[in-house]
Structure 1
Amino acid sequence: MGVEHACAKLIARYANLNDAGDWAGVAALYAVDGRMARPTAPDDWITGRDAILAAFRARPARTTRHLCSNIVVDVLSSDSAVAESAMALFLPGEPPKLGGFYDRFVREDGKWLFAERRGFLSF
């Protein structure tokens, strides 16, 4: 599998696991020292796989559907890549939230993981 495909698949898997409420699965997609910033707080970094898992577990339960598109992956080296993608978040009874993610990937032990995931809202 090519780097671009592997990273695009990681983005899609993140959305699916998030919608399923599988927080351990979502956290496992990050490098141990990976970090994330939610689209609603793009400058508020949560660092480390354990802290990311704790942040997701602390959220109130909700039903969501994330749609990701316009995924463009740029390979930087055999072990690193970056991507930008568009995202639409649907919650029952609320207008959709539109934004996206800037991602940085790292390959560790042959597996692609998020080194950094920074969300943003467009409108």
Structure 2
Amino acid sequence: MDALACLIAEREIERAILDYAAWNDSGAWEKVAALYSADGRMSRPTAPDDFIVGREAILAAFLARPPRTTRHICANIRITLDGSDHARADSQILLFTGPDQAPLVGTYADRLVHTADGWRFAERRGSLDFPKP
């Protein structure tokens, strides 16, 4: 990949990470699930080893959540391209869930694939950086 193609890919991946947070906060579950490849898998930061596999299962998991107000702040997004169709990304997340609860700090370790629909998460593994004792 030439330098311009690398910059474009990195920006598209960064946008996917930011869209994920924004759509998660707005409850746009179909849009969140569409950011995954058909066989993509995810784990939530509170359960990093419990993967939900497949876009449809991911959508069902989000739809099953009780309504809540959240704000995800993404920072320190670092992307490594592994060729033109594969990438890895790491980012830190600050999650606010309400005025009476302490925010959570976590990390996402992502593997992405480039598809006909753009960059999609093949795996999104969340973890808490400061888990509750």
Q: Residue 114 of structure 1 aligns with which residue?
A: 121
Q: Which residue of 2 aligns with 1:94?
A: 101
CA distance in 2, matches of 1:79, 1:62: 35
Partner of 1:55: 61
- Residues 94-120 of structure 1 show CA distances to partners (whole Å, capped at 9, x for unaligned) of 100001100000011151111100000
Matched, 1:44 2:50: yes
Which of these residues, 86, 102, 110, is aligned with residue 103 of structure 1?
110
Q: Which amino acid aligns with 1:75?
A: L
Q: Displaced runs of 4+ in structure 1, greater than 3 A?
A: none
Q: Which ranges of structure 1 fall in alignment gaps of 5 or more residues?
A: none
For 2:117 and 2:48, locate their aligned partners in 1 and report how far apart those are by CA, in whole Å. 29
TM-score, normalised via structure 2 length: 0.90
Identity %: 53
Alignment coverage as a number of residue pairs: 123
- Between Structure 1 and Structure 2, whose CA radius of gyration is higher? 2
More strand by share: 1
Residue aligned with 1:77, SS: coil
The amino acid of 1:114's aligned partner reads F
Quote the offset at 1:3 in angstroms: 1.1
Provide TM-score, normalisation by structure 1: 0.97
CA RMSD of aligned residues (A): 0.9
